[in-house]
C-alpha cells in the first residue's frame, strides 16, 4: 500500500500524520491483521491516496476533475484543499468510529450484477435491503442485515443475477447508518474548512462541490445515502476527462471505468512500479490525445458556443435567446451528450414567470396612463426649476426599475419624454439621456427587479454570502455618482444658473412612427433582444402640446398604484414570489377594468423573455459541461485573485456594451463563483463590482438602452448624439470596470 512512497520526502508528513492517528507506524499498520477493520482501513486508505498525490502533484498538470469512492471522497477533499492531510486523517478515524457505532449487529454488504436498477430496487424494497453504491447500469453494492441480504440474494438469483458476498460488516451508504450522519456533520463543522481549489464531484449526486456548506452536507449525507458512482464517472467524462488515474491501493475503480469508456485511457497507481512511471504515463496519454487532435472537450465546445451566440446576436438582427436555445440543443447534444429533457431542465421557469408577470403588469400601467401620471406628478413637483428636470427623469426611471420594470422598458417609457424636455428647454440631450439610463441602472438591482433576480439567484445557488440589498445599494450609489459626474460635465452648471421658468404648462409627446401604421406613443416601442429598435419609419417627435393638467387620477390608475404598492410590500416584506404576485396583480387589474387592459398582453416584452430564458438555458448546458468551473479555476490559477476579479469585470463590461446586460449577467456571474469559493476575496465586493461593470456600459448606443435614447432624440440631433454616446460609452467601457473594481474589490470593505 505504501511501497511506492516509502522514503520519499514529499510523502513523509502524510505518513507521520497517519501514524499519529493510528498510534503506530503506518507501515506496521498496513501489514497488521486488523488492517481491514474500519478503524484501521479508513485512515490507511486516505493516507495512501494523499501521500501518492503529494508526490505526484508537482509533476502533473492540474486535474480537470476529482472524485472519491466512499472513504476516497474524504481523501479527494484533502487533495482539493478543503482541509489539510492531518485533518483528513483525523476525520477518517472519527468517521470509522461513528459508522461502527451506528451499524446494527449482523449487517453486511454484497455485490449484485446483471440486474438494472428498475428491476433491483423493488426487490430491495421487498426484502428490506438498500442500494449502497451504483457502480454501473447493472452493477450495484447492496447493504442491509444478513437476513435481508440472504433473502435478496435468493430473489436476485431467481432473476438470473450474479451475487457476490463482500467481506464488509458495516452497511455503509444505507439508511441503517443514519445515526452517524449528524455527529459526522458536527465533526466536519468543527474543523477549519475551505472551498475546494480543484473541481470536485460529490458522490451522492455527481454535482460539483464549490463551498464549505456543500462539503459538510455531501460528506456527512453519504454515510447513509446511495453513492451514485456511475453518475460521477459520467459527469467526469462530460466535463472532458479522457485520462483517469486511480490513486490508493488496488485497481478496482480503473477496471470499472475502462470498459464503460473505451475511448479513455485508464490506469491505477497499483499497475506501475513507481510513481514516476505513473506520472510519465499520464503525460504520455495527454500528449497522445493532443496529437490525435482529440474530440473537442465539452468545456471548450460550450465556451465557443457562448462566443458564437454573442457574435451572431450582435452582428445580426436575431434574438440572442433564440440563438441560445439552438446552440443549447446543438452543443448539448453533440458535445455534452445531453438529451432534450436534460437541456430543458435548465429552463428558468421561475424567472420566466417573473419576466412575464412584471412586463404584463407594467404594460397595463402604461396603457391606462399610470406611468404618465407618475411622470406628470414628478414634473409638477419641480415647480418650474429646470435644473431639477434631469434628476426627476433619473428618479422616475430608478423607481420604475426598482419596482420590477425592465431597464429597456423604463427607458422606452421615460426616454422620449426626457429628450422632448431637453429639446423644449434647451438642455443638453447627452446629459438628459445619460441620466435616464443611469437612473434605470440605479434601481435595476432591487430584490424584485429582473437584474436583481438574476444576480441573487446565482448568488444563492452558489451559497455565497451576499445580501440582496448590498448589490442594490452599491449599484444605486455607483450610478448616482456617474449621473452626478454627467450632470456637471454636460451642462449642469449652466442649468443651475438659469433658475426657474414661469411654467410652460405643456410638453410635447414623443412619438415613434411604426411600420404600416400611424404614429404611436412612446408606449409602443418594440425592443429586439440584442438591442435593435424595430421601427421602419424611424423616430419622430410631435410638436403637438398636451396639457399636463389633463393627466388625472382615474379609477384605473388608482387601482394600479395600489397594485404596484402591493407588489412592493408582498415581495420585500413578505418575501412572496415576484412573478406570481405581479401576474396576480395584473389579472386583478384586468378584471376590474377589462376594456382598459386590452392589448396589454401584446405589451409583454416577449423578445426579452425569449432572450433571457434562452441564455439562462444555455448557461445550464455550460454548467453541466463543467465550463463554468473550467473558466473559474482558469482565472483562479492565475495566482492573483485581484487580477482574476478584474478580468471577469472587464469580460462582463465589454460584452454587455454590445449585448443584453440581463443575458450577460446570467452568463458572467457564474464565471466568478469558482474562484470566489477560495475565500481570498470578498464575495460581496466581487459580485457588486461585476454587477456594476456589466450594466454601467448600457450607455453604449449598441446596447438596448443606448439605442432607445438615441432613437428618441430629434432627427437633426440623432447623428451627433450617437457619436457623443459612442465616445462616452468607450470611456465607460475602458474605465468603468476598473473603477468598480477599485471601489468594491480592492479595499476589501464589503
> Does the pLDDT value for residue 575 go beyond 90?
no
pLDDT, residue 361, reads: 83
Single residue among 291, 324, 352 that ends a domain in this structure: 291
Instruction: Note whether 163 and 194 are same-domain residues.
Output: no
Q: What confidence category does residue 346 fall into, taking pLDDT thresholds of 50, 70 and 90?
A: confident
pLDDT, residue 508, reads: 35
Mean pLDDT of 537-565: 62
Q: Which of 59-73, 488-502, 579-593 has the lowest mean pLDDT?
A: 488-502
Q: Which of 208, 691, 656, 615 is nearest to 446 (CA)?
A: 691
Instruction: Note whether 92 and 198 are same-domain residues.
Output: yes
Q: Are 357 and 580 in contact (CB under 8 A)?
A: yes
Instruction: Note whether 188 and 129 are same-domain residues.
Output: no
Q: How far is residue 424's CA from residue 357's CA, in Å, rounded to a whole number? A: 36
Q: What is the pTM assigned to this prediction?
A: 0.55
Strand duo 139-145 + 107-113: pairing: antiparallel
> Does the pLDDT value for residue 375 go beyond 60?
yes
Q: What confidence category does residue 148 fall into, taking pLDDT thresholds of 50, 70 and 90?
A: very high
Buried b (16+ CB within 10 A) or exposed e, 214-223: bbbbbbbbbb
413 in a structural domain? no
Residues 6+ apart with CB under 8 A from 629: 199, 208, 210, 239, 674
pLDDT, residue 538, reads: 34
> Does the pLDDT value for residue 52 go beyond 80?
yes
| CA distances (Å), origin 620, targets 336, 635, 667 | 11, 20, 10
Range(s) of the domain holding residue 269: 3-101+177-291
Q: How far is residue 42's CA from residue 690's CA, in Å, rounded to a whole number? A: 43
Q: What is the mean pLDDT of the chain?
A: 82
Q: Any idea what the CATH number is for the domain that residue 13 is in?
A: 3.40.366.10
Instruction: Note whether 95 and 205 are same-domain residues.
Output: yes
The rounded percent of the chain whose pLDDT value lies above 90 is 36
pLDDT, residue 109, reads: 96
128 in a structural domain? yes
**3 state SS for 123-163:** HHHHHCCEEEEEEECCEEEEEEEHHHHHHHHHHHHHCCCEE
Residues 6+ apart with CB under 8 A from 726: 700, 701
136 in a structural domain? yes
Coil vs helix vs strand at 79: helix
| CA distances (Å), origin 160, targets 113, 156, 463, 499 | 9, 7, 46, 94
Q: Which of 117-121, 427-431, 704-708 has the lowest mean pLDDT?
A: 704-708
Instruction: Note whether 130 and 276 are same-domain residues.
Output: no
575 in a structural domain? no
Segment 17-40, tens digit of pLDDT: 988 998 888 888 777 776 777 788
Query: What Rg do the C-alpha atoms of the chain give, in angstroms?
Result: 31
> Does the pLDDT value for residue 237 go beyond 70?
yes
Q: What is the DSSP string of 482-535?
A: HHHHHHHHTTHHHHHHH-B-----EEEEEEEEPTTS-EEEGGG--B-TTS-B--
Instruction: Note whether 70 and 185 are same-domain residues.
Output: yes
Question: Quick one: DSSP state of residue 538?
Answer: -
Segment 172-196, tens digit of pLDDT: 999 999 999 999 999 999 999 998 8
155 in a structural domain? yes
> Does the pLDDT value for residue 549 go beyond 80?
no
Q: What is the DSSP string of 249-305?
A: S-SHHHHHHHHH-TTSEEEEGGGSSSHHHHHHHHHHHHHHHHHT--PPPHHHHHHHH
Can you name the residues that pair with 131 across neighbouring β-strands? 142
pLDDT, residue 463, reads: 67
Compute φ and ψ for 711, nearest 5 degrees: -65, -20
Q: How far is residue 456's CA from residue 462's CA, in Å, rounded to a whole number? A: 10
Angle at which helices 85-102 and 181-189 cross, to 10°? 160
Q: Which of 80-84, 424-428, 492-496, 636-640 has the lowest mean pLDDT?
A: 636-640
pLDDT, residue 73, reads: 97
> Does the pLDDT value for residue 338 go beyond 60?
yes
Q: Any idea what the CATH number is for the domain that residue 127 is in?
A: 3.30.70.250
Q: What is the DSSP string of 590-653?
A: HHH-TTTTTTTGGGS-HHHHHHHHHHHHHHHHHHHTTHHHHHHHHHHTTS-HHHHHHHHHHHHH
Instruction: Note whether 228 and 278 are same-domain residues.
Output: yes
pLDDT, residue 329, reads: 95
Per the model's pLDDT, the better-predicted residue between 386 and 72 turns out to be 72
Instruction: Note whether 15 and 84 are same-domain residues.
Output: yes
| Residue where the block lists cell 451528450 | 337
Q: What confidence category does residue 542 fall into, taking pLDDT thresholds of 50, 70 and 90?
A: very low
Segment 576-610, tens digit of pLDDT: 777 788 889 999 999 988 876 777 888 776 876 78
Q: What confidence category does residue 139 fall into, taking pLDDT thresholds of 50, 70 and 90?
A: very high
The rounded percent of the chain whose pLDDT value lies above 70 is 84
Coil vs helix vs strand at 369: coil
39 sits in which H/E element = helix 38-56
pLDDT, residue 628, reads: 63
Q: Which of 35, 38, 49 is nearest to 4 (CA)?
A: 49
**228's grid cell:** 451514485
pLDDT, residue 113, reads: 95
Instruction: Note whether 242 and 204 are same-domain residues.
Output: yes
Instruction: Note whether 134 and 85 are same-domain residues.
Output: no
Give the number of other CB atoms < 10 A from CB of residue 588: 13
Single residue among 143, 169, 195 that ends a domain in this structure: 169
Mean pLDDT of 545-565: 72
pLDDT, residue 30, reads: 74
**Strands across the sheet containing 539-547:** 519-521, 506-513, 539-547
Q: What confidence category does residue 499 fall into, taking pLDDT thresholds of 50, 70 and 90?
A: low
213 in a structural domain? yes
pLDDT, residue 145, reads: 96
| Residue where the block lists cell 503525460 | 283
Buried b (16+ CB within 10 A) or exposed e, 70-93: bbbbbbbbbbbebbbbbbbbbbbb
pLDDT, residue 530, reads: 32
| Residue where the block lists cell 433576480 | 453
**3 state SS for 674-741:** HHHCCCCCCHHHHHHHHHHHHHHHHHCCCCHHHHHHHHHCCHHHHHHHHHHHHHHHHHHHHHHHHHHH
**533's grid cell:** 429598435
Q: Which of 369, 337, 451, 344 is nearest to 403 (CA)?
A: 451
Buried b (16+ CB within 10 A) or exposed e, 14-46: bbebbbebbeeebeebbeeeeeeebbbbbbbbb
Segment 658-707, tens digit of pLDDT: 556 766 676 677 767 666 766 677 888 888 998 898 888 888 776 667 77
86 in a structural domain? yes
**3 state SS for 175-229:** HHHHHHHHHHHHHHHCCCCCCCCCCEECCCCCCECCCHHHHHHHHHHCCCCCECH
Can you name the residues that pair with 141 across neighbouring β-strands? 111, 133
Strand duo 506-513 + 539-547: pairing: antiparallel
pLDDT, residue 93, reads: 94
Cα dihedral 532, 537, 541, 545, rounded to 10, equals: -120
Question: Quick one: DSSP state of residue 36?
Answer: G
Q: Is the dihedral of CA 586, 590, 591, 592 positive or negative?
A: positive
Can you name the residues that pair with 163 across neighbouring β-strands? 112
> Does the pLDDT value for residue 333 go beyond 60?
yes
> Does the pLDDT value for residue 447 go beyond 90?
no
Q: Are 415 and 712 in contact (CB under 8 A)?
A: yes
Single residue among 291, 322, 349 that ends a domain in this structure: 291
607 in a structural domain? no
Compute φ and ψ for 164, nearest 5 degrees: -125, 110
Instruction: Note whether 26 and 89 are same-domain residues.
Output: yes
pLDDT, residue 103, reads: 95
| CA distances (Å), origin 471, targets 23, 435, 636, 683 | 51, 20, 23, 11
Burial class (CB within 10 angstroms; exposed 0-12, middle 13-18, buried 19+) of 356: buried
Segment 473-491, tens digit of pLDDT: 999 999 999 999 999 999 8
pLDDT, residue 667, reads: 66
Q: How many domains does the chain have?
A: 2
Mean pLDDT of 499-507: 46
Q: How far is residue 367's CA from residue 138's CA, in Å, rounded to a whole number? A: 61
Give the number of other CB atoms < 10 A from CB of residue 323: 24
Instruction: Note whether 72 and 124 are same-domain residues.
Output: no
Amino acid at each position: 500500500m505504501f511501497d511506492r512512497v516509502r522514503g520519499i520526502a514529499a510523502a513523509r508528513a502524510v505518513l507521520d500524520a497517519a501514524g499519529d492517528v493510528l498510534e503506530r507506524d503506518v507501515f506496521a499498520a498496513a501489514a497488521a491483521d486488523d488492517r481491514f477493520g474500519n478503524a484501521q482501513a479508513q485512515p490507511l486508505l486516505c493516507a495512501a491516496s494523499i501521500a501518492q498525490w503529494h508526490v505526484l502533484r508537482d509533476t502533473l498538470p492540474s486535474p480537470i476533475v476529482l472524485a472519491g469512492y466512499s472513504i476516497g471522497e474524504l481523501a479527494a477533499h484533502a487533495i482539493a484543499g478543503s482541509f489539510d492531510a492531518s485533518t483528513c486523517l483525523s476525520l477518517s478515524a472519527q468517521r470509522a468510529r461513528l459508522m461502527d457505532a451506528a451499524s446494527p449487529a449482523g449487517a453486511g454488504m454484497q455485490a449484485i450484477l446483471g440486474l438494472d436498477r428498475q428491476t433491483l430496487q423493488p426487490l430491495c424494497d421487498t426484502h428490506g435491503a438498500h442500494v449502497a453504491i451504483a457502480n454501473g447500469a447493472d452493477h450495484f453494492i447492496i447493504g442491509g442485515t444478513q437476513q435481508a441480504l440472504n433473502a435478496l440474494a435468493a430473489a436476485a438469483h431467481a432473476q438470473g443475477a450474479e451475487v457476490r458476498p463482500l467481506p464488509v460488516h458495516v452497511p455503509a451508504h444505507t439508511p441503517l447508518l443514519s445515526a452517524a450522519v449528524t455527529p459526522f456533520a458536527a465533526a466536519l463543522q468543527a474543523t477549519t474548512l475551505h472551498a475546494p481549489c480543484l473541481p470536485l464531484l460529490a458522490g451522492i449526486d455527481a454535482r460539483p462541490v464549490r463551498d464549505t456548506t456543500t462539503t459538510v452536507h455531501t460528506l456527512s449525507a453519504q454515510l447513509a445515502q446511495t453513492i451514485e458512482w456511475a453518475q460521477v464517472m459520467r459527469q467526469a467524462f462530460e466535463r472532458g476527462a479522457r485520462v483517469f488515474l486511480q490513486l490508493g491501493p488496488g485497481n478496482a475503480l480503473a477496471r470499472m471505468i475502462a470498459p464503460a469508456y473505451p475511448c479513455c485511457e485508464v490506469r491505477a497507481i497499483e499497475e506501475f512500479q513507481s510513481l514516476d512511471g505513473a506520472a510519465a504515463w499520464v503525460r504520455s496519454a495527454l500528449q497522445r490525445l493532443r496529437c490525435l487532435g482529440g474530440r473537442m472537450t465539452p468545456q471548450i465546445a460550450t465556451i465557443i458556443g457562448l462566443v458564437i451566440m454573442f457574435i451572431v446576436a450582435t452582428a445580426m438582427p436575431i434574438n440572442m435567446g433564440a440563438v441560445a436555445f439552438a446552440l443549447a440543443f446543438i452543443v448539448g447534444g453533440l458535445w455534452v451528450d445531453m438529451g432534450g429533457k436534460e437541456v430543458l431542465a435548465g429552463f428558468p421557469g421561475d424567472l420566466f414567470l417573473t419576466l412575464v408577470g412584471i412586463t404584463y403588469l407594467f404594460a397595463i400601467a402604461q396603457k391606462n396612463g399610470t406611468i404618465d401620471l407618475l411622470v406628470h406628478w414628478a414634473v409638477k413637483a419641480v415647480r418650474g426649476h429646470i435644473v431639477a428636470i434631469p434628476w426627476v427623469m433619473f428618479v422616475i426611471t430608478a423607481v420604475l426599475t426598482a419596482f420590477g420594470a425592465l431597464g429597456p422598458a423604463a427607458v422606452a417609457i421615460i426616454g422620449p419624454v426626457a429628450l422632448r424636455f431637453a429639446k423644449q428647454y434647451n438642455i443638453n440631450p447627452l446629459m438628459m439621456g445619460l441620466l435616464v439610463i443611469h437612473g434605470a441602472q440605479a434601481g435595476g438591482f432591487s430584490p424584485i427587479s429582473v437584474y436583481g433576480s438574476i444576480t441573487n439567484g446565482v448568488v444563492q445557488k452558489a451559497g455565497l454570502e451576499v445580501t440582496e440589498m448590498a448589490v442594490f445599494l452599491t449599484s444605486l450609489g455607483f450610478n448616482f455618482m456617474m449621473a452626478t459626474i454627467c450632470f456637471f460635465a454636460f451642462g449642469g452648471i449652466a442649468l443651475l444658473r438659469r433658475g426657474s421658468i414661469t411654467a410652460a404648462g405643456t410638453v410635447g409627446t414623443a412619438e415613434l412612427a411604426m411600420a404600416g401604421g400611424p404614429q404611436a406613443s412612446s408606449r409602443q416601442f418594440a425592443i429586439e433582444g440584442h438591442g435593435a429598435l424595430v421601427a421602419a419609419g424611424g423616430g419622430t417627435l410631435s410638436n403637438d402640446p398636451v396639457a399636463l393638467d389633463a393627466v388625472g387620477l382615474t379609477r384605473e390608475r388608482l387601482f394600479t398604484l395600489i397594485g404596484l404598492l402591493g407588489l412592493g410590500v408582498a415581495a420585500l416584506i413578505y418575501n412572496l414570489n415576484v412573478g406570481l404576485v405581479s401576474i396576480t396583480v395584473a389579472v386583478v387589474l384586468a378584471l376590474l377594468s377589462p376594456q382598459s387592459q386590452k392589448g396589454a398582453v401584446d405589451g409583454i416584452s416577449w423578445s426579452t423573455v425569449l432572450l433571457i430564458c434562452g441564455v439562462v438555458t444555455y448557461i445550464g448546458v455550460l454548467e453541466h459541461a463543467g465550463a463554468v468551473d473550467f473558466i473559474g479555476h482558469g482565472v483562479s490559477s492565475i495566482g492573483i485573485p485581484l487580477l482574476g476579479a478584474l478580468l471577469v469585470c472587464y469580460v462582463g463590461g465589454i460584452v454587455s456594451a454590445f449585448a443584453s446586460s440581463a443575458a450577460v449577467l446570467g452568463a458572467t456571474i457564474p464565471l466568478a463563483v469558482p474562484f470566489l469559493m477560495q475565500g481570498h476575496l470578498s464575495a460581496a465586493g466581487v459580485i457588486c463590482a461585476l454587477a456594476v461593470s456589466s450594466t454601467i456600459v448600457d450607455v453604449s448606443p449598441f446596447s438596448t438602452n443606448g439605442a432607445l435614447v438615441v432613437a428618441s432624440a430629434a432627427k437633426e440631433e440623432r447623428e451627433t448624439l450617437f457619436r457623443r454616446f459612442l465616445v462616452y460609452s468607450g470611456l465607460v467601457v475602458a474605465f468603468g470596470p476598473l473603477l468598480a473594481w477599485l471601489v468594491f474589490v480592492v479595499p476589501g470593505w464589503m
